[in-house]
Structure 1
Amino acid sequence: MSEKTPGFDTLQIHAGARPDPATGARQVPIYQSTAFVFRDADHAAALFNLQEVGYIYSRLTNPTVAALQERMATLEGGAGAICCSSGHAAQIMALFPLMGPGLNVVASNRLYGGTVTQFSHTIKRFGWSAKFVDFDDMDAVAAAIDDNTRAVFCESIANPGGYITDLDAIAAISDRAGVPLIVDNTTATPYLCRPIEHGATLVVHSMTKYLTGNGTVTGGVIVDSGKFDWSANDKFPALSQPEPAYHGLKFHETFGPLAFTFNAIAIGLRDLGMTLNAQAAHYTLMGIETLSLRMEKHCSNAVKVAQWLERDERVAYVTYAGLPSSPYYDRVNRICPKGASSLFTFSLKAGYEACVKLIDSVNLFSHVANLGDTRSLIIHSASTTHRQLTEAQQIAAGAAPDVVRLSIGLEDADDLIADLDQALSKACA
């Protein structure tokens, strides 16, 4: 008989965590150290030559961060993981080994506003570009991929609207084109969705959100599926061709399924320096220990609040995929079988000014530019997180001027509904 694989609830507590060999400490210690002592000169040389795995300098590797990386790789079903300083850092680091001047990424037009800005403007400074496409139009996605495309990028559950992407269909298109699919799984978390099981090559997270769950630290992670053949063609020389900085070492030939993981540490973290600090990793590890419990409550609360909003005559529509009225409802059981998370938007019939008044009238909801907190959060995306976008881009992203975004927390759902009710009365008077 084969040994039973532990369940998610067990792995979110135990994966990557072992009693400290020096002290017996049961919780993963915070290794607040910049550098680590080598056993001898040969040990140091082996580490720097990537011939041995170990700790050199905390910009590259740190025991606390390593525990978090192992936990995230395990929960997402990946071969390895690389933690970094934020979700935005994770996106750049995911693209860094794949891209080069003149190359492009095909991206969903339903993305977090900061990601749209990063892909529309910032990556151009590297000579990269992005093509934004409606990822519900599979023909358009396929047509957008050309000889210079090096990745396809989407969110499993899109921020802010909560739209669910058909990952299986997008992965099939990416596979036919021979390019990796990168999925931002921040809103879903690995408890609700495991994109690698739907064909994703890389999974990125802003760990700042649901994974940590308490709004205390920022962090990002890239999980490497280990399943992509980086040597199938000459599109990815950083992974398939000799690396001059390591005496001609070929990452894919040398490290196989862990090629991307080792490259992202040995080159990405080494040269970009987007390092996650040990204390932030510790907070995130503690947050993940209760992930499944929190996500179940997030989802049940979101269903109750969304149902109430949909019945309210002051509301034009609600985008929550967990509602039968949603065009994405049929994807929930297939892509996110345990729930549609707790991020969604709703539109006010009274328009932009009413949205602003609503924001200023809530008491229990917090008006902050974040999501995935234990506390319920509210924001008017068009004037904040998506402010840099044109109105057409805002509408395409699900952040139109008459739309408010909610991140439903862990409070009593009836209290959240009461707060929205009194705020709506003031906003729509």
Structure 2
Amino acid sequence: MSVTFQDIEAAAKRLEGHIVRTPCTFSQRLSAATHRKIWVKSENQQFTSAFKERGALNKILSLSESERARGVFAASAGNHGQGLAYHAQRLGIPATIVMPVGTPFVKVQKTQSFGAIIVIEGANYDEASKAAQTLCEERQGVYVHPFNDRDVIIGQGTIAIEMLEQAPELDTLLVPIGGGGLIAGVAIAAKAIKPWIKIIGVEAAMFPSFTARRRNMPVPMGGSTIAEGIAVKEVGDLSFELANPHVDDVVVIDEADFERGIAAYANVEKTVAEGAGAAGLGAIMRFPERFKDQNVGTILCGGNIDLRLLASVLQRELVREKRLVTYRILGDDRPGMLSLMADTIAAKGGNIVDVAHNRLVLDVPAKGAEFDIMVETQDARHAFEISEALRSTGYALRMD
């Protein structure tokens, strides 16, 4: 089954006026922070905050009147379900979305708010997908796969057309890979417009399905990743077949890289990215030498991140940068001990955020106490200065 550039061009015209033509802009702040030239395609500005609308809508628009009347079905715990439900509601098409048990209530509620019938079934995506396909067959509807579908892939490819119209100087595109639908569409379109452009995929270390298929090697898949949008155990057969000839390379990044990307988007670019959305930026920060002297386009493919998770990521980044440090001090359990530590930290300009006393730890003397003092610092050097000042008091110290 083939996909041509003409197919993607036709889809771009078909989607006009139905989706947001999101900006692809040069980021002065991210470029300065990474010392690389970076353009960001902000798909988090779509109505449902993710690129998935493109493929879902293109699929819907390709249906006959009788198919629309029978309704669309999908399995999703996130962006695909929301994108399909939103555009189905706009066009008056019944939509049923099967979501796995344990899907966060906020995602269930948001998808339901777009008028979809929600069915909670299956312990994971694979089981939910089987349930959705069974329902679809029973009701003679149309199953809309999130990535292994020709019309969906064509819709995702419209991103590349927009990117190269908005930033024709791009010579490298970084594309997140989960099931492979996004990179398949983007690679076909981008290579047709600019044959010498480099297409680099980015995968999560826990789910390197595209890399495993390319190398024809069994690789363990699974784990709790912050990039749940690309946590796919098996790349789609169709999406792999279409993408593989056009993908120049694939890089695999770790959880810390996704977190750094999310934090950089929030702190530097002042925008919100979910884990998968930060994949491209995370790859640049992990492998900066690979992108030296290149005009790099990244796809911020989604911004649907739980606010508590975002807060945790930002705080963890402060810890990585030594701007939030916990000093563990073993001292005497006597009046004035904590005051001495506080005065020492204050004299160096540190801000105490939290204090915990540990008196029942067995490796601490009965007449002693262990203090965990969390301190906000300016940077790693400032954190070191505070630690040296605390050590000068004569008490044992450990930093976290």
Instruction: State the TM bucket, normalised to the shorter chain.
Output: 0.3 to 0.5
Instruction: Give the TM-score normalised by the residue count of structure 2.
Output: 0.32
The structure having more radius of gyration, on CA atoms, is 2
Higher relative contact order structure (alpha carbons within 8 Å, sequence separation ≥ 6)? 1
Structure with greater strand share of residues: 2
Structure with greater helix share of residues: 2
